[in-house]
Structure 1
Amino acid sequence: MRHVCSCWRVCSRGLYSCYWRESSSSTRKMSCCWLSFVTVVSLLSLCWLYICLISFNDQEDLNGQLFKWLNCWFNWFMVIIIFSAVLTSYCLLLLLFALIQIVFGEKLDLHWLHKIFLFLGVIIIIGGISGIVGMWKRELPTISLSLQATAPFLQFGAVAALTLISSFVFQAFHKIKKNSRFLVLVVFAAVAAGIFLSPLFIHSPCFIELKDLPEKPKLFAHRGAPMLAPENTMMAFERSAACGVTAFETDVQLSKDRIPFLMHDNESEFLRRTTNVRNMLPQRAIKSNMDLTFEEIQNLNAGEWFLKTDPFRSVSQLSEEEKQTARNQTIPSLLQLLELAKHHNISVIFDLYRTGKSGNDRDDTAAIIDTIRKSNINPGLILWLPPGEREWVKKTSPGFVHIYSNESAMRKNNGTHVNVRYTHLSMNRIRELRADSITVNLWVVNERWLFSLLWCAGASSVTTNSCHLLKDVEQPDWFMSYQTYTKIWILVDVASMLIMAALFVFQWKTHCSCLREGRNRDEMSSHFSVGDAATFPFLSS
């Protein structure tokens, strides 16, 4: 056992201070300040990793935005996630080594190389947070929203961490000067009170009884099933139909010869991200949907990019036959999608993108309407989203279901369906709208925690990239009554306080015992002269 402790002592000292032998007895300056710095950076890195993991739901947004700037696709988000995980692990290990050194009474002396790495870590974290605040503001509400799903469990974790750290705090408390003890006690008590009482401020829609749980939100296929097949291709929509989705969500543009086709990218990245247009038409300056006929568009490959870039790291899940099918995908027309939707009795909801060259809104809308009529699909399966010429559409095609992109437009037009980003409505507002018989669809929802939260809040449906995963979710990942949560919260807090009280008493008795033994040794040594020490040499030690 003594050998194991010695190994831990040497390892912690070597990895924290890079001193593999006993350090000198001289007090090393600023050791407590550097320990505080390691603690702060560890907490910062944990918070940053949490932000990255929560933002995983919207990784496609970040990668797409960077594609616009760099004109080259790469999964930058995964690089950020991996780096953040490594930084957090590094900081927590340093903190662990420091605590081990405190337990063994070792002097803390952070090596200069660690100091450089920690400063670089702080700069990167601050840069990342600044990037979110400055360029990815739409993600900020997601962070606050996530706390409604994670705060109860974060509080339990914080209580456990506080209980563990209290042993080190109490050990230091008994060793420091009496003048400083009051300050340590006040700070620790304030932190403990904040952690213990934080559930008073935690609110979540998942504090709900089973009998009050709303029905599971329906699934809208976002550009098909882009994790299982190239987005906005027939393979993607066929795969999503197998998931049991109730609607296909897509993006429609008009070709030079006025044929509606499916394509999301419509600006500088038009066709460049999801097709081989650069190889097929290297001499053509293609800037918009009006630069190509539909025949030219269909000659492009719309599946090879999916296998090469693996945007959702899901290609390995496909069979060789599925990979070959994906490799041969082309850009479909709106008519092809409508025929598939009619066959499966699935609704269709779409955005209509224009460039300004394609004619006026009425002409574009008329081309879409003509295509819908040509398909002979049930008008009730068309969820009409484009705001332009809506009144004209209502007159010419009265059977369509009209969906609005914001609540004010819906109220103004006496609508009953709203389609917004999941951060644009609070959880309470979703409940209020559902109680008012308003159908609420929220986009884009890919992660289970977010789907569970919106389910508890009462969302009617969600637009998702991961229909194959969410279809198997039989109930929210967690939900309980507030009374049950209150009981758990009180039990956890009481157990923590009892453990900390026991640790404090144990540390106090141990400290007092050490003091008495020290005084007894001093008294015994004072009774012996130098001659006695020569007679009893073991006492001289």
Structure 2
Amino acid sequence: MPQNGSCCRVCCRVVYSCHWTGGVKKHACCWLSYVILVSLLCLCWMYICLVTYNDREDVNWEGFKNLKLWVNWFMVLIIISAVLTSYCVLLLLFALFHIALKEPLNLHWLHKIFLFLGVIFVTLGVTGISLRWQQEWPTVPLSLQATAPFLQFGAVGALMLLSPFIFKGIRAAREKWSKFLIGAVFVMLSAAIFLCPLIIQSPCLIEWAELPEKPQLIGHRGDPMMAPENTIMSFNKSILCDVKAFETDVQLSKDGIPFLMHDNNQSGFLRRTTNVKDKFPHKDFNQSADLNWDELQSLNAGEWFLKTDPFHSVSKLSEEEREMARSQTIPTLLQLLDLAKQHNISVMFDLYSLNQENDTIQTVKTILNSSIDPRLIFWLPPVEREYVNKTAPDFIQIYNNESDMVNGEGNHLNLKYSKISTKKIGELRRRNITVNLWVVNERWLFSLLWCAGASSVTTNSCHLLKDMKQPNWVMAPLKYTIIWITVDIVSIFIMIGLFILQWKSEAKSQYFGLERERTVALLARKVDH
């Protein structure tokens, strides 16, 4: 065992206690429990941040609406959360080193303050999601279907590594009730970790032969990670991904020209993706009907992409591609229809308008005049659907809820991925109902929906998902059961072995300690005589 003034001991004291020498303080175990709880809290929060990263643009969009500044706010949140989690976990590790070295656990007041600030930060984050981003909570249990089997294996490993410290704590406890309490908590926690696979369910726990075909890709505003969204360059990029359809957003100008633009009906709605502030410095437009087509066509719709680099992808573009992005303008719906017709790709869009009846008529007229195959049009806007059905009966009607689909005698659904269970996706698939889910950007989520049987997904990252040949993982239920039971049994035997070794080691130390005391006592008697 290292000596009292060894480098290892001093380092642990300085980091954890901020003192060169040790000293016993009250409530050390309580503060250790506090460190453990805050560490677990931060790990859970970090997990939430990572699994909701798929929808990071929702947070960035909320920030833009309030501050009129396009910044990757979610990445800022990720960085702060990662620093906080790393700090708490490292502090916990040093606490465990203290226990191993039999050093007193004296948590410095500065660490107490930082941990308290960490709790406040996580609390504010959870509150923010609950109040402003509540629809994101279903993503967390959904993500567990993709990660739970591996989290369980990791938890078993962590339990095995921590067990020697737990055993040491049980033996070090002076009161019987303390020993019993620590032991009981450890046993219950162990049982929960060992048996949790009984409730783990995942669509990827299937035989390879039962795996559905890969979902088709729909380009969300084109390929917005590799080109400015809703521009011809972006849609051309998505063609390279073999997308099934273009997904876009349609608005009408003052003179009735349908054009492509997502942001709508708000102050400064063109500021994010155009240079409207430079072009019209003394005007603040609130809706598409405030500008005619000539004014819209004069705006640059690509420079913002190079300046803000919203997906940190500009560095992947060649100099020629950057120049192309820099020269992009707002396209009309007719331009997109011509592109879709040329490549036999479907078009799906939302229609943003204050005058839905008139704008629907104008939009349908534009589509029919384009001479595109009407079966390539996925009609999504729910308003004036009856008129669209009569005027263009070959349009494929897409619904955003099952009841409307049944009433409309349709068989196509378009839903947010977190609004439907993986089990329900499988049921709809067996009924030959096409299910498209939006917006799916991360591999883990795409893999999960692939296993569940989704027909297609709307995505910002078609250039990444197109290269996936199979889900991240697929495992036969029997194989998973065998691995789970084997891991549990092996870890139990290892923990029992560690306990026996530790018990023998301490018993031997006590024996030699008693022998040393007897020898000293005998020498002392001889000296006295």
Instruction: Tell me if both proteins adopt one fold, taking TM over 0.5 as the criterion.
Output: yes
2:26 — aligned with what? Answer: 29
Deviations 1:219-253 (A, max 9, x none): 00000000000000000000001111010000000
Larger CA deviation: 455-464 vs 8-17: 8-17
Matches for 1:527-538 after TM superposition, within 5 Å: 527-529=522-524, 532=527
Within the candidate set 85, 92, 95, 1:98 is matched to: 95
Within the candidate set 53, 68, 80, 2:77 is matched to: 80
Q: Secondary structure at the match of 1:463?
A: strand
Q: CA deviation at 1:178?
A: 5.5
1:454 — aligned with what? Answer: 449
2:284 — aligned with what? Answer: 285
CA contact (8 A) 2:357 2:384 kept: yes
Q: Secondary structure at the match of 2:201?
A: coil
Deviations 1:479-524 (A, max 9, x none): 1111111111001101110110000101111111122222222333
Q: CA deviation at 1:175?
A: 2.4
Q: CA deviation at 1:531?
A: 5.5
Query: Does 2:396 correspond to 1:398?
Result: no
Q: CA deviation at 1:157?
A: 0.6
Q: CA deviation at 1:470?
A: 0.2
2:44 — aligned with what? Answer: 47
Aligned partner letter, 2:506: H
Q: Secondary structure at the match of 1:181?
A: helix
Aligned partner letter, 1:453: L
2:14 — aligned with what? Answer: 14
CA contact (8 A) 1:449 1:477 kept: yes
2:487 — aligned with what? Answer: 492
Query: Does 2:203 correspond to 1:205?
Result: yes
1:227 — aligned with what? Answer: 225
Query: Does 2:174 correspond to 1:141?
Result: no
Within the candidate set 157, 180, 183, 1:182 is matched to: 180
Q: CA deviation at 1:263?
A: 0.3
Counterpart CA distance in 2 for 1:250 and 1:286 is: 21
Larger CA deviation: 72-81 vs 456-465: 72-81
Q: CA deviation at 1:65?
A: 1.1
The size of the alignment, in residue pairs, is 527
Query: Does 2:261 correspond to 1:266?
Result: no
Deviations 1:364-386 (A, max 9, x none): 11111111122111111001111
Counterpart CA distance in 2 for 1:197 and 1:90 is: 31
Counterpart CA distance in 2 for 1:184 and 1:336 is: 69
Counterpart CA distance in 1 for 2:62 and 2:468 is: 30
Query: Does 2:352 correspond to 1:353?
Result: yes
Counterpart CA distance in 1 for 2:470 and 2:84 is: 35
1:443 — aligned with what? Answer: 438
Counterpart CA distance in 1 for 2:190 and 2:403 is: 45
Counterpart CA distance in 2 for 1:105 and 1:529 is: 29
Counterpart CA distance in 1 for 2:526 and 2:194 is: 61
Aligned partner letter, 1:424: K
Counterpart CA distance in 1 for 2:290 and 2:325 is: 26
Q: CA deviation at 1:31?
A: 1.1
Counterpart CA distance in 1 for 2:453 and 2:69 is: 39
CA contact (8 A) 1:174 1:511 kept: no
Within the candidate set 109, 115, 119, 1:118 is matched to: 115
Within the candidate set 223, 239, 242, 2:240 is matched to: 242
TM-score where L is the length of structure 2: 0.97
Counterpart CA distance in 2 for 1:503 and 1:51 is: 34
Q: Secondary structure at the match of 1:249?
A: strand
Counterpart CA distance in 2 for 1:256 and 1:425 is: 38
Superposed structure 1 runs of 4+ greater than 6 Å apart: none
CA contact (8 A) 1:205 1:456 kept: yes
Q: Secondary structure at the match of 1:480?
A: coil
Counterpart CA distance in 2 for 1:428 and 1:336 is: 40
Q: Secondary structure at the match of 2:248?
A: strand
Unaligned runs of at least 5 residues, structure 2: none
Within the candidate set 352, 358, 363, 1:363 is matched to: 358
Deviations 1:138-174 (A, max 9, x none): 1000011100000111111110000000010111222
Deviations 1:336-386 (A, max 9, x none): 00000001100000000012xxx4x33211111111122111111001111
Q: CA deviation at 1:13?
A: 1.6
1:297 — aligned with what? Answer: 296
Deviations 1:21-58 (A, max 9, x none): x324xx21111111111111111110111000111000
Q: Secondary structure at the match of 1:37?
A: helix
1:308 — aligned with what? Answer: 307
Aligned partner letter, 1:14: V
Matches for 1:332-351 after TM superposition, within 5 Å: 332-351=331-350
Counterpart CA distance in 1 for 2:143 and 2:418 is: 10
Aligned partner letter, 1:162: L
CA contact (8 A) 2:265 2:288 kept: no
Q: Secondary structure at the match of 2:103?
A: coil
Q: Secondary structure at the match of 1:261?
A: strand
Identity of aligned residues (%): 59
Aligned partner letter, 2:270: L
Aligned partner letter, 1:388: V
Counterpart CA distance in 1 for 2:526 and 2:191 is: 59
Q: Secondary structure at the match of 2:217?
A: strand
Q: CA deviation at 1:267?
A: 2.2
Aligned partner letter, 1:479: V
Counterpart CA distance in 1 for 2:522 and 2:361 is: 110
Q: CA deviation at 1:401?
A: 0.8
Q: CA deviation at 1:184?
A: 1.7
Query: Does 2:255 correspond to 1:257?
Result: yes
Counterpart CA distance in 2 for 1:111 and 1:378 is: 72
Q: Secondary structure at the match of 1:224?
A: coil
Counterpart CA distance in 1 for 2:31 and 2:427 is: 51
Q: CA deviation at 1:213?
A: 0.3
Q: Secondary structure at the match of 2:457?
A: strand
Q: Secondary structure at the match of 1:226?
A: coil
Counterpart CA distance in 2 for 1:149 and 1:340 is: 37
Within the candidate set 166, 173, 198, 2:163 is matched to: 166
Q: Secondary structure at the match of 1:527?
A: helix
Q: CA deviation at 1:183?
A: 1.9
1:215 — aligned with what? Answer: 213
Counterpart CA distance in 1 for 2:8 and 2:344 is: 65
Counterpart CA distance in 2 for 1:226 and 1:57 is: 14
Counterpart CA distance in 1 for 2:342 and 2:175 is: 81
1:539 — aligned with what? Answer: none
Counterpart CA distance in 2 for 1:506 and 1:308 is: 62
Aligned partner letter, 1:207: L
Q: Secondary structure at the match of 1:423?
A: helix
Q: CA deviation at 1:181?
A: 1.9
Deviations 1:80-122 (A, max 9, x none): 0001111111111111111111111111111111111111011
Q: CA deviation at 1:69?
A: 1.3
Counterpart CA distance in 2 for 1:455 and 1:529 is: 79
1:511 — aligned with what? Answer: 506
Matches for 1:60-71 after TM superposition, within 5 Å: 60-71=57-68
RMSD between superposed Cα atoms in Å: 1.6
Counterpart CA distance in 2 for 1:315 and 1:236 is: 13
Q: CA deviation at 1:2?
A: 6.0
Larger CA deviation: 519-528 vs 70-79: 519-528
1:375 — aligned with what? Answer: 370
CA contact (8 A) 2:246 2:345 kept: yes
